[in-house]
Structure 1
Amino acid sequence: MNEIVNYFSTIPSSHRSLILIGGITLFWLLENTFPLFQMKYRKWHHAGINIFFTFTTIVVNFILAFILIFTAEWTTKNNFGILQLLPEMPVWLYAIIGLLMLDLIGAYLVHLIEHKVKFLWRFHLIHHTDTWIDTTSANRHHPGESVMRFVFTALGVLIVGSPMWMVFLYQSLSVVFSQFNHANISLPEKLDSYLSYFIVSPNMHKVHHHYVLPYTDSNYGNIFSIWDRIFGTFTYLPKDQLIYGVDTHMRAEENNQLKNLLKIPFQKSKSIKNNKNQ
């Protein structure tokens, strides 16, 4: 565990980039070999749109990174945050507790709020318009949403009192798990079900991308599934009943054109078939 701490304390930016690119490449290959659905779509065109949003997410996080670094260093120097209140314990347990809380605030909580607050939903909607969920869908976030998610990550670091190595570890795990649970891969159902008791499995997260309520408003987690189970937002739907997208934007010109996707948060709200408060 000490080796992991040392590595993520000084992890180069190039290594973080390799984790992102390596994850997409690995799951891209797996979903072509063991697909959950045989989707008929222009995979490279679809990937191009989603990789654009991945790039804007990277840019937002790069520009604002100094806030995250300052926050982590400040909490450590001033013994501020939940982790600083805990008794001495093994590093691995300390890391698990920290990662659980960062995932709660930086992933589950912000995701839940994005679904409940009208203004934020308009930005998050871009993620849900994807009608072909695969590993490239993981970072299909409007730049405005990327800013909001960064704010909650920084808030999580402050409240939890995370050292910088834990922040880098959390971000790396978050990227890989998001690519994993969005990937169009077919796992044995019993294995997927077992995994969903501990982590967000592919079939578990795919339910969140079903096009109507109440499934859209469920399974908010990214790394750990515990928060959905504790707060009652866990839902199951057989994979053969899944329809990806969101019912207000099911036409290709609405969900598969980059120019329109960037404009969606600023367009007039559409009438909702599933009673979503948009």
Structure 2
Amino acid sequence: MNTIIDYFSTIPSAHRSLILVGGITIFWLIENAFPLFNFKYRRWHHAGINIFFTLTTIVVNFCLAFILLQVANWTVTNHFGILNWLPEMHIGLYALLGLLLLDLIGAYLVHFIEHKVKFLWRFHLIHHTDTWIDTTSANRHHPGESVIRFVFTTLGVVLVGSPMWMVFLYQTLSVVATQFNHANIALPKKVDLLLSYIIVSPDMHKVHHHYLMPYTDSNYGNIFSIWDRLFGTFMILPREEIVYGVDTHLQPEVHNNLKKLLQIPFHKKNKNS
């Protein structure tokens, strides 16, 4: 565990970028060989749109990273946050508890709120417009949503009292997890089901991308599945019945057009669905 802590305490930016690019590449190759759905689409055009949003997410997080660093250092220095208020524990338990809480606030909570607050939904809607979910869809977030999610990640660091190595570890696991559960892959159903008791599996998350309610408002988790099960937002839908997208934006000329996607949050007619 100490080796992991040492590595993530000083992880170079190049390594973090390599993990992101490497993850997309690996899952893209796997889903090309063993696809869940055989999409009829311009794959590189679709990937180009999603990679653009991935790059804007990277830029937003890079520009704001100094805030996260200062906040994490402040919590440790001032012994603030849940982890700093608890009795001393084994480092492995400490790390697991911290990751669970960061996932609750930085992933589940913000995701849940984005579905319930109309203004925030306008930005998150871009993610749901994708009708061809694959691993490139993982970071299909409007730049405005990237800022929103950064705010909640920072809030999580403050409330949890996370040291910076834990923040970097969480972000790394979060990137890989979202690439995995968005990938257009078909795991054996029993394997996927078993995984869903611990982490967010591909089948579990793809229910969230079904185009109709109430499935759209379910399975908000990213790394751990415990929060959906605990808060009653866990739902099951056979993979054969899943239809991707959102019922208000099913036209390809909208959801497959970068300019129109960037403009969606500023159309007042968009509302939560």
Q: Who is 1:118 aligned against?
A: 118
Q: Which amino acid aligns with 1:39?
A: F
Q: Which amino acid aligns with 2:106?
A: G
Q: Distance in 2 between matches of 1:155 and 1:32?
A: 38
Please state how far the C-alpha of 1:124 moved relative to its aligned partner: 0.2
Q: Who is 1:191 aligned against?
A: 191
Q: Who is 2:40 aligned against?
A: 40
Q: Distance in 2 between matches of 1:240 and 1:277?
A: 26
Q: Who is 2:136 aligned against?
A: 136
Please state how far the C-alpha of 1:267 moved relative to its aligned partner: 1.3
Q: Distance in 2 between matches of 1:128 and 1:277?
A: 11
Q: Which amino acid aligns with 1:210?
A: H
Mapping of residues 1-278 of structure 1, within 5 Å? 1-270=1-270, 277=272
Q: Distance in 2 between matches of 1:277 and 1:192?
A: 30
Please state how far the C-alpha of 1:268 moved relative to its aligned partner: 3.3
**Matched residue pairs, number?**
273
Q: Deviations over 1:29-83 (max 9, x none)?
A: 1101111111111111100000000000000001100110000000000000000
Q: Distance in 2 between matches of 1:2 and 1:251?
A: 51
Q: Distance in 2 between matches of 1:89 and 1:144?
A: 38
Please state how far the C-alpha of 1:87 moved relative to its aligned partner: 1.4
Please state how far the C-alpha of 1:85 moved relative to its aligned partner: 1.2
How much is the aligned-residue C-alpha RMSD, in angstroms?
A: 0.8
Q: Distance in 1 between matches of 2:179 and 2:126?
A: 17
Q: Distance in 2 between matches of 1:189 and 1:18?
A: 31
Q: Who is 1:273 aligned against?
A: none
Please state how far the C-alpha of 1:247 moved relative to its aligned partner: 0.4
Q: Distance in 1 between matches of 2:186 and 2:33?
A: 9
Q: Which amino acid aligns with 2:242?
A: L
Q: Which runs of 4+ in 1 moved over 2 A?
A: none
Q: Distance in 1 between matches of 2:196 and 2:272?
A: 29
Please state how far the C-alpha of 1:231 moved relative to its aligned partner: 0.1
Instruction: Give the TM-score taking structure 1 as reference length.
Output: 0.97
Q: Distance in 1 between matches of 2:43 and 2:89?
A: 47
Instruction: Give the TM-score taking structure 2 as reference length.
Output: 0.99
Moved more, 33-42 or 109-118: 33-42
Q: Which runs of 5+ in 1 are unaligned?
A: 271-275
Q: Deviations over 1:210-258 (max 9, x none)?
A: 0010000000000000000000000000011000000000001110000
Q: Which amino acid aligns with 2:74?
A: W
* Structure 2 counterpart SS, 1:240: helix
Q: Distance in 2 between matches of 1:269 and 1:25?
A: 37
Q: Which amino acid aligns with 1:167?
A: V
Calculate percent identity across the aligned residue pairs: 76
* Structure 2 counterpart SS, 1:88: coil
Q: Distance in 2 between matches of 1:169 and 1:48?
A: 28
Q: Distance in 1 between matches of 2:261 and 2:44?
A: 17
Q: Distance in 2 between matches of 1:108 and 1:73?
A: 24
Q: Which runs of 5+ in 2 are unaligned?
A: none
Moved more, 260-269 or 205-214: 260-269
Q: Distance in 2 between matches of 1:269 and 1:18?
A: 40
